[in-house]
Amino acid sequence: MSDPSKQPEAPNPDTDAYAHESELEAHLQPKRMYINMGPSHPAMHGTVRMKVELEGETIIKADPEIGFLHRGFQKSCENVTWTQCLPYTDRLNYNSAMMNNFGFLNAVEKLIGLEIPERAQYIRVIASELHRMHDHLTCVGATALELGGFAPFLYAIEGRELIMDRVTELTGARLTTSYGRVGGLNRDLPEGWIPKTIKSLDKIQELLVEVEGLLMKNRIFVDRMKGTGLLSAEDALDFGFTGPCLRAAGVDYDVRKAKPYWVYSQLDFDVPVGTHGDNYDRYIMRLEEMKQSDRIIRQALAKLPSGPIIVDDWRIALPPKPEVYGTIEGVMSHFKLVMEGIPVPPGEVYDSTEAANGELGWYLVSDGGGRPYKVHVRAPGFPILSAIPQIIEGKMLADLIPTFDMINMIGGEVEQ
Amino acid sequence: MDRVSAHLPEAVAERYDDRAGGAWAVIHAQHLPKVAAYLRNDPELNFKLFGSIDAVDRLHLAESDPRFEIIYILYSLTRNEHVRLKVRVTETTPEVPSLVPLYKGANWWERLTYDFYGIKFVGHPDLRRILMYDEFQGHPLRKDYALRDRQPLIPERPIKDIFRGPGTSGLS
């Protein structure tokens, strides 16, 4: 029996009774809708905010706003020594830190006019290609995940973890390695690293077969990738695309082939080129490039010569520790290198290497001191992201996700 | 570069090679679109891949007049080479013609250079800041902009015993 003196309960907003019939049948507003994707949206890699103007599901206008992560890369570099820039370059593309490291060092070495030892060149190639695979695995896995496939993501990440383990053994860090030094490398390969790496590569190839098998015959995946995110070769050049995104459009340009650096000219590999310039082709490019990277690493490991890993010049490389502790010359050179930095002769240089996403260019100016006067980075993701409004306007909102995945925008480098 | 000098002799102010062998040309600002159009459209030159744009503030360099140097990097697939162009502008009139009508890729790079150095690109369709926020005063990559200058959008609470380093007003 209910108590007649008790007041009726207030309506609970969490129950269905609260939603009226008329509200459930409300029509979509016919007017334009403005939505913000980001700055921390799961589909926006890094912190990009995309202001999207929608009519129904069609994107009328897209305006990317990219400054949320900006951390003053150039200004920071211009106020530390050349070697101290390395940790900053790591963070440009945190998926392939060593490629950024080595790209920067390559430009500095060009500016000095320095040839690094052959063993160091081989190890740089091996480490770069490992990180290229690392980057592509992340990209392919994340794309699969964002289009609804969790299993391929797990396989890709398993492969990535194997690379991370090898990278940790090599450099002591998983993500931000700071492994290079002007004139060579920080340290030599650890004992037993080569057979371990080959074993990891075998496993990664197996995992790639799984990933391919799961994705290439998946109707949802293929339908969302094929024919979306189209950009013609001419427009891609106009925007300054490089790397897999340019090659997907059918342009055969790879810095490793066009202007070989280190020992790339001595290694045998192919550059895959696509035809359509859509997301599917970009995805295929990344898969093929991983296979080529595998080839390169195996060859380089087989050919790896012995010898020093850094130049024997105390004006550039730190002297060996017994010399620092035992001789006055060693102490002085150590002190000068740490406190004042490497004296890079005055001048300027523009130099580029092929990073995972494309041409990573460096324009450096030195005034002769131990610190860079100007460090300009041509990050490959920056021009690619700038093309997004053109690619996506007039297309569906759902196309934004695979397109954004496949350009593989990395917040760190775009936002400098 | 020889062909550019022969075709547009009035545009090229200076030519030199850097230590790594890269060819550079200093172009007069008003002739820049002509030179870029020639480099892009001549079928034998074919500099169609857009590289990047940036500027250098030469305030502390030995040769500091005019103050700003804007650099342009273009790439030709058929010739397999980079071309490096420079335009020098003064502090009082930092203006260059925009390359957006020629290269779509110039759009964001010009915005970046405008944001960081305050160089105005005449004819740019949408010249606004790209990385810094709209309310930001000044241009952070100029050499006379203090390294640790702070412009918080929300007033920062004073925290005792924190010194934010040289170039700041000290506390806060």
Among the partner-chain residues B18, B51, B62, the one whose CB lies closest to the CB of A378 is: B51
Rounded to 5 degrees, what angle do the CA atoms A270, A273, A275 make? 160
Per the DSSP assignment, residues forming a β-bridge with B70 are B55, B87
CA distance A250 to A330: 54
Instruction: Answer whether B26 touches A (CB < 8 Å).
Output: no
The letter for the amino acid at A273 is V
CA distance A343 to A232: 45
Query: What distance lies between CA B125 and its chain's CA centroid?
Result: 17
Tell me the two tokens of residue B72.
């342009």
Among the partner-chain residues A67, A351, A363, the one whose CB lies closest to the CB of B133 is: A67
Query: What distance lies between CA B80 and its chain's CA centroid?
Result: 24
Using CA atoms in the order B118, B124, B125, B131, what is the torsion angle rounded to 10 degrees? -30
- Nearest C-alpha in B relative to A70: B131
Say whether B18 and A238 touch across the interface (CB within 8 A).
Answer: no
pLDDT at B128: 87
CA distance A183 to A309: 8
C-alpha atoms less than 13 angstroms from C-alpha of B35 in its C-beta half-sphere: 30
pLDDT at B62: 80
CA distance A267 to A299: 7
Tell me the two tokens of residue A400.
């934004």
pLDDT at B171: 46
| pTM score | 0.88
Residue B1, SS3? coil
Measure the N-to-C terminal CA separation of chain A; round to a whole number of Å: 71
pLDDT digits over A284-319, tens only? 999 999 999 999 999 999 999 998 989 888 888 888
Q: How many other C-beta atoms are found inside a 10 Å radius of the C-beta of residue A225?
A: 25
Q: How many other C-beta atoms are found inside a 10 Å radius of the C-beta of residue A186?
A: 17
Q: What is the mean pLDDT of chain A?
A: 86
pLDDT over 80 at B169, yes or no: no
Among the partner-chain residues A70, A110, A382, the one whose CB lies closest to the CB of B108 is: A382
Q: Which of A289, A207, A218 is nearest to A248 (CA)?
A: A289
pLDDT digits over B63-112, tens only? 878 889 899 998 888 888 888 888 998 888 888 999 888 888 888 999 99
Q: How many other C-beta atoms are found inside a 10 Å radius of the C-beta of residue A332?
A: 13
Tell me the two tokens of residue A229.
């995110």
State the average pLDDT over residues A55-82: 85
Measure the N-to-C terminal CA separation of chain B; round to a whole number of Å: 53
Complete domains list, chain A, with CATH = 63-409 (1.10.645.10)
ipTM above 0.90, yes or no: no
Q: Which residues contact B158 (CB under 8 A, 6 or more apart)?
A: B171, B172
State the average pLDDT over residues A104-117: 90
Say whether A365 and B50 touch across the interface (CB within 8 A).
Answer: no
Identify the weakest region by mean pLDDT among A32-36, A139-143, A188-192.
Answer: A32-36
pLDDT digits over A137-187, tens only? 998 988 888 888 889 999 999 999 999 999 999 998 888 888 888 888 888
Residue A67, SS3? helix
CA distance A63 to A360: 25
Per the DSSP assignment, residues forming a β-bridge with B55 are B70
Say whether A238 and B48 touch across the interface (CB within 8 A).
Answer: yes
pLDDT at A325: 92
> Contact at 8 Å (CB) between B74 and B83?
yes
The letter for the amino acid at A385 is L
> Contact at 8 Å (CB) between B171 and B157?
no
- Nearest C-alpha in B relative to A114: B20
- Nearest CA-CA distance, residue B9 and chain A, Å: 25
- Residues in chain A within 8 Å Cβ distance of B109: 382-383
Among the partner-chain residues B51, B80, B130, the one whose CB lies closest to the CB of A240 is: B51
DSSP-derived secondary structure letter, B19: T
Q: What is the mean pLDDT of chain B?
A: 83
Identify the weakest region by mean pLDDT among A146-160, A218-232, B4-18.
Answer: B4-18
State the average pLDDT over residues B46-65: 85
Region for residue B118 given its phi and psi (left: phi exceeds 0; alpha: psi -120 to 50; beta: otherwise): left
Instruction: Answer whether B37 touches A (CB < 8 Å).
Output: no
pLDDT digits over A336-345, tens only? 888 888 888 8
* Residue A97 main-chain phi, psi, to 5 deg: -60, -40
> Contact at 8 Å (CB) between A415 and A93?
no
| Burial of B34: CB neighbours in 10 Å, binned 0-12, 13-18, 19+ | middle
Complete domains list, chain B, with CATH = 2-122 (3.30.460.80)
pLDDT over 90, % of chain A: 22
